[in-house]
Amino acid sequence: MNDALDRIGFAATAACIAGGILLHAAWLPATLLGTYVIVIALSAALILSGRKPLPAPLRIGVMLLLAALVVRTFGNPFGREAGSALLLGMLAAKMLETRARRDARVVLSATCFVALAGFLFDQGPVQVGLAFLVVVALLATMALLADPRPRPAAQALARLREPATVGARYALLAIPFAIACFVLFPRLDSPLWGAPTDAFGARTGISDRMQPGMLSSLALDDTPVMRVRFDGEIPRPADRYFRGLVFWWFDGSTWAGKDALASFDQPPVLVAADAALAYEVIIEPTDQRWLFLLDAPAAAPAGATLTGDFQARRDSPVISVARYAASAHLDYRMQPELPRLQRRLGLQLPEGNPRTRALAERWAAESGGDARAIARRALDLFNAEFIYSLEPPLLARDAVDDFLFETRVGFCEHFASAFAFAMRAAGVPARVVVGYQGGFVNRAGGYLVLRRADAHAWTEIWIEGEGWVRVDPTAAVAPERIAESARAQLDLRAGAEAPGWLSLLRQRSDLFGYWWNRSLIEFSALRQREMLQSFGAPPDQRVLVALLAVAALLTLGLASWWLARQQSTGDPVLAEWRRFRGRLARAGVEVLAQLGPRDLEARAVASLPGLAPAIASITEAFVDLRYRRAPAGDGVDAERLARLRRAIRAFRPPRVRRGRIRRQ
């Protein structure tokens, strides 16, 4: 077996790995990215300069070093990031010892996995497009490696064209088959094995604790988080609070929810005063279990549960684009009876911040313990003297005191945190809620887009007879933040309002993203069944399999037919001549390879005397094109070729059945 790998084959394999790394470039730390590129460049330099591979101990050393680097970067070798980085590192190290075709093929197979892993991070249109290009490169390299003909170094580059064409052709022709399988391949309702829960590092976005600066770091991030389509009118901005996490525990600087609290024994109690508003959410992957629901959630979406403090927790993390349907009440009373545990947690206070405590106690005394009056005092204070800013100054040790009495500049998390602290100090149960607020209506698509910049923190206080009531202290400082969005407000302040056409373009591109997610990325077993039902077919796996078989045969058959047709023959004149010979053979003329055109003509005329003039003129035209010098001028040959082609297309001798020729 010819198992040698020439330089051009090596270079193509290295290019495929480089493409695989490119698919991970968005998240891969720069140190790792640089190291991988250096290792691959080193292996390529060794091969191209014709040197021997590095000695085995050195190669193993490089491999271990790369693995150690990955573990050092991520803390462990498991999980999505570390796993992908490790795979890429091993591939880069493998290039150092790739000398045979077999090695290159192992590398190519692993590169397919690399492309797959890339989709764990991003399934957007750009990533999918890049991955398609990598597939073309992979197939082209496989075609290059499979070609056993020797490649002289001088012609090596010219010889790349054929495998590149093959790769692109097969990748394109496989698309219909891939779509058919995508739509009809029976999906799993539930994972075969558990999707890793903690294996995924948190993505940028809301996390499970709130520190000062967490939300302001997102304020300029326009990445969409979720898109919401309402069954009726889109609610007013002031009503668009999408509730995510509820924080009870405060240690002086950080708010956190306690895991134990997620399983409150008290059920969520909601007394609704209006009809439920139904909506549907397409959410981008968050790698977290919680969902964001419009306040106040009427019920948990399928596959999730609603905790006693109205957090929606999914059974599995949202690791890829997901869809859920939910409904909400805008006019409600939440938990009119306060459970004992909630009261205790809602009044928990850390040590410190004596000035705030004193102030809150004074408020409580002056208003006679009326929760609403205390809250109004606090909001009035915020409204009168505080500044809403993206870049608040750092706070000292008693963070709440420092904020309330010294800096007086903050972002929503500062206001929520200080307000909740003050309320608790005044004896009113309070908690912090984090989620998304406001959003941006895409008029072209008729849906609401919530971006990372819309992340928001607000508070809830418990009032006797009314239950948990939402109080947004940010609204007291910067009401426009609630009416519009943080981003729009910042743009306004900088005097950089987007022109109309740009905003229209943004809406259109977001609409494309919405469509992409809704129709491609979020397709699931459920949607598959819905699709079958909409065609009136029973939602049965057997129906799917039967449909799949038909569709696969159809798409593959068409693609094969196209491939057979596309087999190019090189010289167009010879191709036409071959077609002519084929027609003669089918008409029963014995076409032998050693016959020249003139001999064939004689034979053909002898057995098909009726067609003698046509045969003679075709032969004449062929001999003319193939053996005589072309007269001056460029266009003449194409014209003569076209004439020959027409003559041969028109040449249709009666067919003789194949079997008879064989028997002869």
Partner 1 sequence: MIAAASQALRDRLLQWAERRLPALTRWRAAEPLPIALHPRRIYVLPTGFGLMFGAMLVTMLLGALNFNNNAALMLTFLLAGAVVLSMGRGVRMIDGVRLVALRVEPVHAGSPATVELQFEESTGAPKRQLELSYGARQAIFDLADGAARVAIVIPTERRGLQPIGRMTLACEYPFGLFRAWSVLHPDVRLLVYPRPEAKAPPLPRGGGATGSSKASPIGEDWHALREYRHGDPRRLVAWRASARAERLLVREFATPRENRVELTWAATEGLSHEQRIARLARWVIDASHAGATFALHLPGETLGPDRGPDHRHRCLRALALMP
The residues annotated with a catalytic role in the active site are 412, 456, 472
Is there binding between residue 660 and partner 1 (CB under 8 A)?
no
**Is the CB of residue 12 less than 8 Å from the CB of residue 144?**
yes
Q: Nearer Cβ to partner 1, position 373 or 552?
A: 552
Residues 232-261 that bind partner 1 (CB under 8 A): none
Q: Nearer Cβ to partner 1, position 348 or 568?
A: 568
Residues 546-605 that bind partner 1 (CB under 8 A): 555-556, 559-560, 563-564, 567-570, 574-575, 578-579, 581-582, 585, 591, 593
Q: Nearer Cβ to partner 1, position 127 or 327?
A: 127
Q: Residue 204 class from Cβ within 10 Å (0-12 exposed, 13-18 middle, 19+ buried)? A: exposed
Smallest gap from residue 578 Cβ to partner 1 (A) = 4
Q: How many CB atoms lie within 10 A of CB 257?
A: 22
Smallest gap from residue 522 Cβ to partner 1 (A) = 7
Strands 447-451 and 440-442: antiparallel
The rounded distance, in Å, linking the Cα atoms of 627 and 630 is 9
Q: Of the ranges 166-174, 263-271, 327-335, 486-494, which one interacts with partner 1 (CB under 8 A)?
A: 166-174
The rounded distance, in Å, linking the Cα atoms of 215 and 346 is 23
Smallest gap from residue 36 Cβ to partner 1 (A) = 21
Give the CA angle between residues 191, 530, 178 to the nearest 5°: 65
Smallest gap from residue 336 Cβ to partner 1 (A) = 40
Q: Could you tell me where the beta strands, DSSP code E, fall in 67-135?
A: none
Residues 499-538 that bind partner 1 (CB under 8 A): 520-525
Smallest gap from residue 163 Cβ to partner 1 (A) = 8
Q: 189-228 mask for partner 1 (x: CB under 8 A)?
A: --xxx-x---------------------------------
Three-state secondary structure call for residue 476 = helix
Q: Which residue's structure tokens are 């800096």? A: 407
Q: Nearer Cβ to partner 1, position 318 or 453?
A: 318
Six token digits for residue 276: 């439920």
Q: Nearer Cβ to partner 1, position 320 or 507?
A: 320
Q: Indicate the length of the chain as a whole number.
A: 664
Q: Nearer Cβ to partner 1, position 139 or 418?
A: 139
Residues 450-509 that bind partner 1 (CB under 8 A): none
Six token digits for residue 233: 């009118």
The rounded distance, in Å, linking the Cα atoms of 201 and 286 is 10
Q: For the chain, state the CA radius of gyration.
A: 35
Smallest gap from residue 4 Cβ to partner 1 (A) = 13
Smallest gap from residue 273 Cβ to partner 1 (A) = 38
Residues 291-320 that bind partner 1 (CB under 8 A): 319-320
Q: 88-127 mask for partner 1 (x: CB under 8 A)?
A: --------------x--xx--x--xx-xx--xx--x---x
The rounded distance, in Å, linking the Cα atoms of 111 and 121 is 16
Residues 126-165 that bind partner 1 (CB under 8 A): 127-128, 131-132, 135, 139, 142-143, 145-150
Six token digits for residue 526: 């459920």
Smallest gap from residue 23 Cβ to partner 1 (A) = 10
Judged by CB under 8 A, how many residues of this single chain contact partner 1? Answer: 72
Residues 398-417 that bind partner 1 (CB under 8 A): none
Q: Nearer Cβ to partner 1, position 186 or 235?
A: 186
Element (H, E) at 527: helix 525-534
Which residue(s) pair with 291 in the sheet? 312
Residues 318-377 that bind partner 1 (CB under 8 A): 319-320
Q: Nearer Cβ to partner 1, position 112 or 299?
A: 112
8-state DSSP, 406: I
Give the CA angle between residues 237, 318, 515 to the nearest 5°: 60
Q: Which residue's structure tokens are 């002031």? A: 238
Give the CA angle between residues 110, 111, 114 to the nearest 5°: 95
Three-state secondary structure call for residue 264 = coil
